[in-house]
Structure 1
Amino acid sequence: MITLKRMSDCTWNEAMQAWNEGFQGYFADMTMTMERFTDRFGMEGLSPALSVIAFDGDIPVGMIVNGIKEIKGEKVGWNGGTAVAPAYRKQGVGKVMMDFVLDVYAENGVTVATLEAIRENEKAIALYEQKGYRIFDRLVHLKQNGKLQLPEAQNFTIQPMRPPQVVPLSFYVQHAPWQTQALNVRDAEAAIAYEGNEAVGYALYKHMYNEQGELTHILLYQCVGMGAQEREIVASLLYHVLRSNVECARMAINLPEESTAAALLQEAGFMVYVSQVQMRKEM
C-alpha cells in the first residue's frame, strides 16, 4: 500500500533514495550526491515541509520537491522534480503525489502552480495536463565550448548590477522559469543595458572560476531587450556577458525557444542539449 509523508517527516537518506531511484532511466541524468541534493534546497528555494515522499511500506518509491515564493504579488508554487521508481510507474503513484502537492499549494494560498518538464516526457506532461496544468512556453538549454564569435556591443551602455535591481524593471519577465529568476539564482550577476538614461534590456548570469582564478564556466539565465532595437540590445548584453575571447564552457539555462537570445546564441554556434515545456496552473 502506498503512503505519503512530507519530506520534513523523513530522513535525508530516504529522500535521496526516493530521488535517485525515481530518476532511473530518465531522459537526462538527474541523480545527485547528498551534498548536491541538500544544497539544491537552499539554492532553489525548495522546502522539505512542502515536498512529498511516497512509500511502499518502509521503502521510498517516489518524490515531488516543491517551493513557494511570492513574485510581484502572486504566490507561486514550483514543482522542482517528480520522481517515481521504475517498478512503481504506471501504478498511480505520480497522481496521488500530485494531488497531495496541489492540496499543499491550496493550504498555503498559492495562486499559480508552475513546473518544467522534458519535452519528450509525454506521459508526465499528460499527467500534469490531467491535473489542470497547461503549456505556456517552450524552453531550451544551450551549450558551447571554447572561444566564441559575437558582434561587439554598440550604442548601448552596459552597467553591472545585482540581480534584485532588475526585478523592478517594467519589462522584467515575471514568469520566467523558477531556476532562472533574479531572486532564485545563488551568486548570480546582472547587467542592465541603457540607451541614454533609459533601461532597455537586462541579463542574468553567473561567471564561475577555478582555484587559479581562471574563468571556466558562464551560465546565462535570462537575456531580454525591449523595443525596435531588441536584437541589437540582446546582442550587446550577450557580448558583455559571454566573454568571446575566453576559452571556457558556456551554457544557457531554460531560455524561451522563440526568444531573440536563443536565436542569436544558435547563430553563434550554441547547440540545444535539452528541450522542455513550461507549464502553469491557475489555482
Structure 2
Amino acid sequence: MKIKRLSQCTLEEALTAWNKGFEGYIVPIKMDLPAFVNRMISEGLSPEKSIVVFMNSEPCGIIMNGFRENNGRKIAWNGGTGIAPEFRGKGLSAAMIEEVFNIYRAEKAHTAVLEAIEENERAIKLYKKAGYVITDHLLYLNKKLTHIEPGFLKENHFSIKRLYPEQLQSLSIYDSKAAWQCQWQSAKHGEAAVLLSEDGNEEGYILYKRILEAGGRTERIIIYQLKFNNENNYEKMTESILGHLFLDGDDSIDFTAVNIAVSNPASKALLKLGFEKKIGQVMMEKPL
C-alpha cells in the first residue's frame, strides 16, 4: 500500500480511485473528469490535503478533505471516503483514516465532520470506531409545489429581503454548523432571502439556488438552508417564504431540500407540506 496526496497524482488517477472506491455504493456517484474537478472547486476540497491510495501501483482508494474557519475554529470535512470493492474489509480504511487525522492535526483543525448515508451501517460503524459521534440526522426532501398550494395565497404579514449568500453569516440566527454542502460557501450561483415581520424583525432566512427553464420560468429550487427564529410559527413562515420564491409566470416549482436537519423544525414543516424523504444521512463529528 502506498498513500499519496491527491496533488501528487494525475487527475485521471484520482478519478479512477474515486470511481473504483464508490463502485456498488448505495447512491450512484460515478463522475467524469469535469464533474470531479468541479466538485473539488465548488466544495472547497483540497488536492494537497486529500489522499489517494495505491495497491500494486493502481489507484484503489481515496479520501477528499476540505477546511473552513467557523467562529475562529478550523473545521475539517471528509468529503468522500471510497475503497475499491476488492480491498474493502481488509483494514485499508483504518489506515487511510489515520493518515487523514495526521493531516487534520498538522492543519491544527479543531473539529472533524462528515456525513454518511444512514443505510451505510458499515461506514458508520467504521467512523464511530475512529471516534466520530452522530450529532444529527439529515433529510433529502422533494416536492413539486404549485402557487395555489394551501397557505401560499392566504394573507400573511411577512415580507422578504433579498441578500447575497455571503451576507447570511452576519445574521445572528445563521446556522454555521449546517452540513458542509449547505453552507453559503458551497452555494455557488445561489441566492438568499430573509423573512421579515411587519415590524421589520428578521424572523428567518433561506439559502437556495434557482434553476431556470429556457423560457425563463423557474424549473427547480434547491434549498440549502431554511431556518426560523420563532419555532412556534415555523409552518406559516415556511409557507410564506416558499410562496415568495415564485416568480411571475411560475405555475409550479420542483423544490428539493438538501441535508436539512431533523432537529430543525423547518424539516417538520416541509414534511407537513407533503415533501417526501428521498435520502437520509447522519451528521457525524469528532473533536481533534
**TM tier relative to shorter chain:** over 0.9
State the partner residue of 2:239.
Answer: 235
1:32-181 aligned at under 5 Å gives the runs 32-145=31-144, 147=146, 149-152=149-152, 154-181=156-183
State the partner residue of 2:184.
Answer: 182
User: How big is the shift at 1:150?
Assistant: 4.7
C-alpha distance in 2, partners of 1:245/1:269? 20
Q: Which of 225, 231, 244 lines up with 1:222 in the alignment?
A: 225
Could you tell me which amino acid in structure 1 is paired with residue 146 of structure 2? K
C-alpha spacing 1:182/1:58, structure 2 compared with 1 (3 Å):
same
Is 1:270–2:275 an aligned residue pair?
Answer: yes
Aligned-pair identity (%): 35
Q: Which of 186, 195, 198 lines up with 1:193 in the alignment?
A: 195
Secondary structure of the residue that 2:239 maps to in structure 1?
Answer: helix
Confirm or deny: 8 A CA contact 1:64 1:83 kept in the other structure.
Answer: yes
C-alpha distance in 2, partners of 1:135/1:98? 17
Could you tell me which amino acid in structure 2 is paired with residue 193 of structure 1? L
Gaps of 5+ in 1: none
State the partner residue of 2:211.
Answer: 208
Greater Cα shift, 170-179 or 236-245: 236-245
Gaps of 5+ in 2: none
User: How big is the shift at 1:237?
Assistant: 1.7
Secondary structure of the residue that 1:241 maps to in structure 2?
Answer: coil
Q: Which of 265, 280, 283 lines up with 2:285 in the alignment?
A: 280
Q: How many positions carry a matched residue from both structures?
A: 282
Secondary structure of the residue that 1:87 maps to in structure 2?
Answer: helix
Could you tell me which amino acid in structure 1 is paired with residue 281 of structure 2? Q
Q: Which of 250, 255, 263 lines up with 1:250 in the alignment?
A: 255
TM-score by length of 2: 0.93
C-alpha distance in 1, partners of 2:243/2:42? 27
Deviation by residue 1:150-169 (Cα, 9 ceiling, x = unmatched)? 51272122111111111111
C-alpha distance in 1, partners of 2:142/2:169? 26
